[in-house]
Amino acid sequence: MKHHIVAIGPLPPPLHGFSYATSAMTALLSEENVTVLQNLSPPENAGRLIGHASKLRRALGACGRLLLDRRLEGKACYLGCDGGWGMCYTLLIVVVARLLGYPTYLHHHSFRYIDKPDLTMRGILALGGPSLTHVFLCEIMRDRFVDAYAVRLRSVIISNAAFVAPTDDRALQPRPLTIGMLSNLSREKGLETFIELLRQCRSEGLAVQAILAGPVANNQDRTSIEAAVKEFGGALDYRGAVYDEAKAAFYEDIDVFVFPTNYVNEAQPIVIFEAKAAGCAVIAYNRGCIRKQLDGSDLLIPANGEFVPTSIAWIAAIPPDSPRSTWRRRTRQDYAERHQRALKRARSLLD
């Protein structure tokens, strides 16, 4: 059956994990259905006041679209769940969708209201009704949500792996072991920890190179990067924001992806799946669903663990003559199977 879907959530720009996943999911839903997009993203670089005013206006516009389409056959509402104050708009849309008789699929992308149960989310659960289906990123997210709110609910698991395609196998050029980080670079995403890791690797005599990529959040973080580039010389390459071919080249040029995030909303980072799709090993903190993203070739560090010394010991244990081409190929193959499983689940969401 073809559905008429009112799809509501943030779309790029700005580009971040939530907007990327929303855009990719709505593209999949559009393959077999009629999808009407309602973008909740505020204008780029908008201040907090202007941003919230814009999101409120767009949320009201989305409610208007639900009203206009309420009599269409096969109607459904797909809604990306905000993780901060934006949950107030999520609550509004959930209530309107229920009043208009829409089966609603609420896609969770944040652990903020799971780590600290939130009154607004309690309102969504109370007012969403029996037609509300929760879409979680992994079993950890689902189980912790159920424990946090002591509820029984209808749910499905759709991993973000559905939205990151495997990459082609390429010949690996001889080079020193290279670590890399790609993110919206900031302290809470682990920028300072990554720089300190490189510093300690060099002081331990490890022949490690590093590549940083991504936009910088503020002037303080920009200054930190500039100082690090000067300190390490040719050992650290900062490439700025990277997209498309430049992003693919970043992942091909590194061996180990480092992601020491302490971001409060962290759930299932797209960048980790991009690294696995390219065949990279990963070092990351155990936050959100990250444990489910990694495998035996990676290093998972407890959320409150010592990131730098643990990482150094793991990196130092990699033999200089390690067959990196072989384990990259195996990692790509394993990820390709994971991607196909997740893609099948995503495409069957409304079945």
Cis ω for the linkage preceding 14 (within 30 of 0): yes
Name the CATH architecture for the domain at 177-337: 3-Layer(aba) Sandwich (3.40)
CATH, domain 4-158, list 1.10.10.10, 1.10.10.60, 3.60.20.30, 3.40.50.11930: 3.40.50.11930
Cα–Cα distances (Å) from 73 to 81, 105, 350, in that order, read 25, 17, 14
* pLDDT at 83 (0 to 100): 86
Q: Give me the pLDDT at residue 340, please.
A: 98
Q: Do domains 4-158 and 177-337 have the same CATH topology?
A: yes
In the chain, what are the domain boundaries?
A: 4-158, 177-337
Global model pTM greater than 0.85? yes
Chain length of the chain? 351
Cβ-contact 223, 335 below 8 angstroms: no
Q: Strand pairing partners for 257? A: 180, 282
Q: How many CB atoms lie within 10 A of CB 270?
A: 19
> What are the 10-residue block averages of pLDDT along the chain, 351 residues in total?
95 93 98 97 81 92 98 97 92 98 97 96 95 97 97 96 91 86 96 98 96 94 97 96 96 97 94 97 98 96 97 93 84 96 96 87
Give the Cα separation of 14 and 8 in Å (integer).
16
Ordered alpha helix ranges (H), the chain: 17-29, 48-68, 87-99, 112-115, 119-128, 139-149, 191-203, 219-232, 244-252, 270-277, 290-293, 307-316, 324-347
Query: What does the pLDDT read at residue 170?
Result: 75
